[in-house]
Amino acid sequence: MMELPYAPPLTRRTLADPVIPEPPRRGDPGGEPCGVCPGEDGPHTIWSDDNWILNHGVETSLAGAVWLATRVHVDSFADLDSALAQDFGVLSGRIDRALLALPDVARTHVYRWGDGGAHFHVWYLPRPLGMVQAQKMMLPLWEEVLPRASDEAISDAKRRIADCLTNEGPVRAREQPWDGAS
Residue 155 CA: distances (Å) to CA of 45, 77, 152? 12, 30, 5
**CA dist., res. 95 & res. 101, Å (int):** 10
Beta carbon nearer to Zn ion, 43 or 130: 43
| Edge-to-edge order in the sheet of strand 105-111 | 45-48, 52-56, 66-70, 121-128, 105-111
Out of 73, 97, 107, 172, name the contact with Zn ion by CB under 5 A.
73
Q: Decide if residue 90 touches Zn ion (CB under 5 A).
A: no
Q: Decide if residue 26 touches Zn ion (CB under 5 A).
A: no
For residue 52, which of 34, 67, 33, 35 has the smallest C-alpha distance? 67
Beta carbon nearer to Zn ion, 40 or 144: 40
Q: Decide if residue 80 touches Zn ion (CB under 5 A).
A: no
Q: Are 102 and 63 in contact (CB under 8 A)?
A: yes
Q: Decide if residue 37 touches Zn ion (CB under 5 A).
A: yes
**CA dist., res. 83 & res. 177, Å (int):** 9
**Which of these ranges, 62-70, 71-79, 156-164, 170-178, lies near Zn ion under the rule CB under 5 A?**
71-79
For residue 110, which of 137, 148, 134 has the smallest C-alpha distance? 137
Beta carbon nearer to Zn ion, 36 or 84: 36
**CA dist., res. 53 & res. 173, Å (int):** 18
Out of 25, 36, 65, 121, name the contact with Zn ion by CB under 5 A.
36
**Which of these ranges, 95-103, 111-119, 131-139, 163-171, lies near Zn ion under the rule CB under 5 A?**
111-119
Beta carbon nearer to Zn ion, 74 or 106: 74
# of chain residues touching Zn ion (CB under 5 A): 6
Q: Decide if residue 72 touches Zn ion (CB under 5 A).
A: no
**26 DSSP β-pair partners:** 117
Q: Decide if residue 121 touches Zn ion (CB under 5 A).
A: no
**CA dist., res. 112 & res. 127, Å (int):** 16
Q: Decide if residue 119 touches Zn ion (CB under 5 A).
A: yes
Out of 2, 5, 34, 133, name the contact with Zn ion by CB under 5 A.
34
In the complex, the residues that contact Zn ion under the rule CB under 5 A are 27, 34, 36-37, 73, 119
